[in-house]
Amino acid sequence: MAIWRNARCSVNRGPRKRRLALGALILGAAALVGCSGASNVADARQTPAPQPAPPASETGGFNGVRAWDYLKTIVDFGPRPPDTPNIRREQVYLVKQLESFGCAVSQDHFHAQTDLGNLAMDNIVAKIPGKSPDIVLLLSHYDTLRLAGFVGADDGGSSTALLLEVAHDMCGKPSPLTIWIAFVDGEEDQVNFANQQQAQTIWSDNNAEFGSRELAARMENSGELKNVKALLLADMIGDADLDITRDSNSTPWLEDLIWSTAKHLGYSQYFLSTTMSVDDDHMPFVRKGVASADVIDFDYPYWHTAEDTLDKCSPHSLAVVGHVFLATIQALDKKFAPPKKGKS
């Protein structure tokens, strides 16, 4: 994930344990956001044991067991920074999986001018035709940070696995709205980080979010951007201790829809009412006027450390967020492509 700006230094709601955990994270992020105090975030709490995913029949058809298998495969590729052999293996895997689900897949190759030189990058987009040309765009980055030993189980891996399973569930089925599921490259800052302290503090807008900027620009040029009714970005949603906060850079009505959907499904303990301000892959679209929401759990002690590994994530968390994504898409169908009343 990108970086967290202007975080608020007070947190008023949520159960005590979570409030403390979030407070510890805010203190730990003091170097980023200018809050007073300092704390070793990773020492602040223990990650709970991963919980199994509920059956797909209880999560709107989202198969959390299968999503977890995708995540294991992705992590097994190892560190996956742009223009490396590992990310090329991941690209082949993503395209093969999406095609096996019956998705139409477009692969957009481009070159990005980064602080590390000119890098080959790839956006991979699965497209599900709808009765309406209006688009719901789902987005995740699939690259990982350039830090020794960093496999990005949560940061990069979890949201990629989530959207693979969403694609598995939706491809080949009729859809009221057109659905695009985009896996974007080059979200992380293109720096060879020497240590996690650097990786948690250095950020340059001009040296990151390459894939999302490319996709937004291409869609603007093609005229498709104006058809996007909603962008749902997933990032860092695999944390076994799931607590997703609202983002003040996201579009309020769309966040309201996601949060009310989560509440209706009984997931209010995971979708908190606290707000942060996050710079992430939704921003190139926000700047172009697209209604966008970043679904992110930034209360993750292992963010941008080599300890962001599978044991910190949970199939249950993938299933919860997957369920909310599928149900939110249905709510967007109702909002933008209501079924026409028959005359018979």
Nearest-approach distance from CB 268 to Zn ion, in angstroms? 27
Concatenating the DSSP letter of every residue in 136-166 gives EEEEEE----SBTT---IIIIIIHHHHHHHH
Query: From the CB of 289, what's the least distance to Zn ion, in Å?
Result: 26
**Residues making contact with Zn ion (CB under 5 A):** 1, 155
Q: Which is nearer to Zn ion, 155 or 169 (CB)?
A: 155
Q: List helix spans (H) across 171-237.
A: 196-199, 210-222
Shortest distance, position 296 Cβ to Zn ion, whole Å: 10
Residue 238 Cβ, how far from Zn ion at the closest point, in Å? 13
CB of 41 to Zn ion, least distance (A): 15
Residue 42 DSSP symbol: G
Tokens linked to 179: 């659905």
CA quadruple 279, 280, 284, 286: dihedral positive or negative? negative
Instruction: Specify the residue, 155 or 243, whose C-beta has the smaller distance to Zn ion.
Output: 155
- Cα–Cα distance, 333 to 328 (Å, whole number): 9
Contact 313, 238 (CB under 8 A): yes
* C-alpha atoms less than 13 angstroms from C-alpha of 303 in its C-beta half-sphere: 22
Which is closer to Zn ion, CB of 267 or CB of 302?
A: 302
Q: How far is the CB of 155 from Zn ion (least distance, A)?
A: 4
| Residue 268 three-state SS | coil
Q: Are 63 and 318 in contact (CB under 8 A)?
A: no
3-class DSSP assignment, residue 279: strand
Question: Measured in whole angstroms, how far is the alpha carbon of residue 325 from the centre of its chain?
Answer: 11
Whose tokens are 């569930």? That residue is 169
25 or 265, CB closer to Zn ion? 25
- Indicate the residue among 134 and 209 with the shorter CB distance to Zn ion: 209
20 or 33: CB nearest Zn ion: 33
- Please state the closest distance from residue 147 (CB atom) to Zn ion, in A: 9
User: Tokens 């980080």 identify what position?
Assistant: 193
**For residues 1 and 103, which CB has a smaller minimum distance to Zn ion in the complex?**
1
